[in-house]
Amino acid sequence: MAAVRTLRKVCQHSLQCLLHTSASRQEAVVISGKKLARQIRDEARADVEKWMLAGHRRPHLSVILVGDNPASHSYVLNKTRSAADVGISSETILKRSDISEEELLDLIFKLNTDHRVDGLLVQLPLPEHIDERAICNAVAPTKDVDGFHVVNVGRMCLDQSSMLPATPWGVMEIILRTGIATMGKNVVVAGRSKNVGMPIAMLLHTDGRHERPGGIPNLITADMIKEGAAVIDVGINRVRDPLTGKSRLVGDVDFEGVRQKAGFITPVPGGVGPMTVAMLMKNTIKAAKNVLLYPPERIRMAAAS
């Protein structure tokens, strides 16, 4: 709790939070990730059609799913459904949780060198006996639609063309397509995970220093933000509803409280989540086009490096 209080003080200082009591102030604009994701899927569908009319084969996404984690199975199902919606073919390769790291690496190598596979992702998290970083680095950078390979992370940090991690890219698209100004603004990224917080910080050109990671329901409250601030919630937490007794998803932001003060806010669910899956589809199309730029020999070399 001490860390949370410290974060609260930092946010109040850095964002110069001013408490206003005007009863006439309008509530925050609720940004619909579902609506924006629908726009992006429409763009992706048109891109696929144009790609195929030019004589190319349909883009294909392969997903490796290890174990029986219900959340992972749900995420993968959403991704394959979205792929079908935009005209991308896909397959889900199921593996037992006791698969060895060597067996998984062998499977990844086969998919890396399969010319029919354009995009490849290994659904995280993986069982504890498998090194996730080794697995992420085994996926060929040109097929790495998650954007987790060290080459793609490095190119992103240098502001070079790369596969961007889907969730951070989704956040940036929310900001850009909503017209939220970031130039010269103070931005707080509550979380420094390698797959979300750090890439968002790099994309926003911040210094990446954060008090603590997210993952705490209602961590961000109204008194921690500036009047009219844009709040994009990447957190996913499952909590029990005291009224119904059923579990439900909430973010790291106190949505009802913050929406009274913010200028823009994303809900959970229905905010960043749909955008993540939509950006994954865009990366799969990008991977298909990369085949022309990177022949199989180059892919093998990249995968072995």
Element (H, E) at 105: helix 101-112
Sheet holding 60-66, edge to edge: 89-95, 60-66, 119-122
> 47, 79, 252, 282: which one is catalytic?
79
146 annotated active-site: yes
Element (H, E) at 265: strand 264-265
> 47, 118, 144, 146: which one is catalytic?
146
Which residues, in sequence order, are CB contacts of 27 under 8 Å at separation 6+? Answer: 259, 260
Contact criterion met (CB below 8 Å) for 216 and 239 = no
79 annotated active-site: yes
Residue ranges with strand state E in 68-220: 89-95, 119-122
Contact criterion met (CB below 8 Å) for 135 and 236 = no
Three-state SS at 165: coil
> 123, 226, 233, 254: which one is catalytic?
123
Contact criterion met (CB below 8 Å) for 299 and 149 = no
68 annotated active-site: no
* Active site (catalytic) residues: 79, 123, 146
